[in-house]
Amino acid sequence: MSEAATRTESKLVLVTGATGYIGGRLAPRLLEAGYRVRVLVRSPEKLADVPWADQVEVVRGDLGDPASLATATAGVDLLYYLVHSMGAKGDFEATERTAARNVALAARVAGVKRIVYLGGLHPATGTLSKHLRSRREVGEVLLTSGVPTVALQAGVIIGSGSASFEMIRHLTEVLPYMPAPYWVRNHIQPIAVRDVLYYLLAAAGLPDDVNRTFDIGGPDVLRYGQMMNGYAVEAGLKQRPIASIPVFAPRLAAHWVNVVTPIPRRLAVPIIESLQYDCVALEHDIRDLIPDPEGGLSSYRDSVRLALGKERAGEVETSWQNSSVMDAPSDPLPSDPEWAGHTVYTDVKQRRTNAPVEELWRVIESIGGDNGWYSLPVAWAARGWMDKMVGGVGLRRGRRNQEHLQAGDALDFWRVEAIERGRLLRLRAEMKLPGLAWLELRSEPDGAGGSLYYQRAVFFPRGLGGRLYWLSILPFHGVIFTDMANRITATAARQAHVESVRSLSESPAAV
């Protein structure tokens, strides 16, 4: 074993935000580099299906809970701060400030030797958006913590599954002509996600006396309109005429983005507010300590090309969808005995199919996204548009992988709350609702070579509005959920028959 590998193997690294877009990609790369990795997450079940879950130590906790931070930072050499409250309700600046102070104190008490923080590029002077102001303040708290800190300040991150990339992609693909606010003419320095990860990893080896911010960005400085048309070229589309209009209304623009892209309005607002500034690197001092990656930093067009290639190959590691920003409940579905005393509405369907349970489960796990919901597509599309018009996520989020799901995945306007592969899929609603809703799909063997399909919709109404909502959609549920149960079992039976015929045709006896 090399001396460098021995040094990293002995170090314990704590990653906060491991269920997020960057943290979910950094953790396995730290393992590959030989570090011992611990992750602090609020919901460990979200990591149940990631391929590296059994290689890390998982601590359940929250940055707002000093006790869990004390446990998480014990014995840690290096801490990655990759948590942001972008899109959260309420005073997220106060929430982020408190979290940063809690982490700073816990790291200092535990004797952590280095903190690495990922913030955002911003102008040196002038008024900033709340989002950029908060990220700058978090960096300042960590830099004055008494623990040597590297605060990497990145611009728009381009990679498969990133919110910025999704916004560029959908705006470009949906709009053949775009009248846009003046911020499309502002300058931006995008950076490939692979280069962000390169800098994050390399920052772990910086000298102990380094305690400062570093601007990081790719080799191109572009206007937002140029980024959209750069995407168009790589995606094989015609370049889009873009007209700048002298208006900047972030919330109006965010609502428009919400309607024509999968990005929910609450997440679009901080992104668009940040675009009112020229966000370019003001210094390049990082090169004095960390050389460019082999082959150089990725250009914007190369970043787009790589992102599109990853998606076509089904290799999206993490997505902005992994992090919920909706008014969704954080608690799991209560068990049936706990419903006592609560108003609850249910819609239950049960069907039997000749398909083996494995085939039925394959259909269940592939539901949603491009595969659809097996009943009245027009009705599902209408519900998605209704949700979009009130600022919800709508149906266009789709799914990360067309065949497999894991806990925490976004699935159109649902989120995978629990999955017991081969048996149970529980989805929690993230559309705008006057209450809380879940949808459960189950598959079980029937003991005779076939399988049983169970489907249950559960709704906890909020006030009179919630009760009226359930009554108003009840007639539609009778059609949609019945059709859904029938089509899922019929599809499983049909696919099982096709597979049986194929197996017979390929058997030696048939030949």
Run of H or E including 486: helix 463-506
412 neighbors 421 (Cβ within 8 angstroms): no
CA gap 99, 94 in Å, rounded: 9
Q: State whether CATH 3.40.50.720 applies to domain 6-318.
A: yes
Read off the tokens for 47.
């990591």
Q: State whether CATH 3.10.50.40 applies to domain 338-506.
A: no
Question: Residue written as tokens 């607002």?
Answer: 269
Q: Report CA Rg, the chain.
A: 24
Q: What is the DSSP letter of 112?
A: -
Alpha carbon of 329 to those of 113, 235, 430: distances in Å?
37, 37, 9
Q: What is the β-pairing status of strands 187-188 and 149-154?
A: unpaired
Q: Secondary structure of the chain: what % helix, strand, coil (to 5)?
A: 40, 20, 40
Q: Where are the domains of the chain?
A: 6-318, 338-506
Cα angle 106, 107, 113 (rounded to 5 degrees) comes to 165
| pTM for the predicted model, two decimal places | 0.71
Give me the DSSP letters along 269-321: HHHHHHTTS-B--S--THHHHSPPPTT-PPPHHHHHHHHHHHHHTT-----GG
Residues with Cβ < 8 Å from 120, sequence gap 6 or more?
Answer: 131, 132, 135, 136, 153, 154, 155, 274, 279
CA gap 446, 437 in Å, rounded: 28
Q: What is the β-pairing status of strands 451-461 and 212-216?
A: unpaired
Question: Residue written as tokens 């090309």?
Answer: 305
Q: What is the DSSP letter of 428?
A: E
Residues with Cβ < 8 Å from 361, sequence gap 6 or more?
Answer: 421, 422, 423, 443
| φ and ψ at residue 349, rounded to 5 degrees | -130, 145
357 neighbors 444 (Cβ within 8 angstroms): yes
Residuewise pLDDT in 10s, the chain (511 residues): 444 444 555 799 999 999 888 999 999 999 999 999 999 998 888 887 788 999 999 999 999 999 999 999 999 999 999 998 655 556 778 889 999 999 999 999 999 999 999 999 988 877 888 888 889 999 999 999 999 999 999 988 998 878 888 888 877 877 777 666 677 778 899 999 999 999 999 999 999 999 999 999 999 999 888 888 899 899 888 887 877 666 556 666 666 676 666 677 777 777 777 777 788 999 999 999 999 999 999 999 999 999 888 766 666 677 655 554 433 333 445 555 455 555 688 899 999 999 999 999 999 999 998 889 998 888 888 888 888 777 777 777 778 788 889 888 888 889 898 898 899 999 999 888 888 899 999 999 988 889 999 999 989 888 778 888 888 888 888 889 999 999 999 999 999 888 777 777 766 655 4
Run of H or E including 418: strand 414-420
Give the amino acid at 257: V
Using DSSP's 3-state secondary structure scheme, residue 206 falls into: coil
CA dihedral sign of residues 163, 168, 174, 178? positive
257 neighbors 171 (Cβ within 8 angstroms): yes
11 neighbors 77 (Cβ within 8 angstroms): yes
Read off the tokens for 260.
């024509």
> Matching CATH topology for 6-318 and 338-506?
no
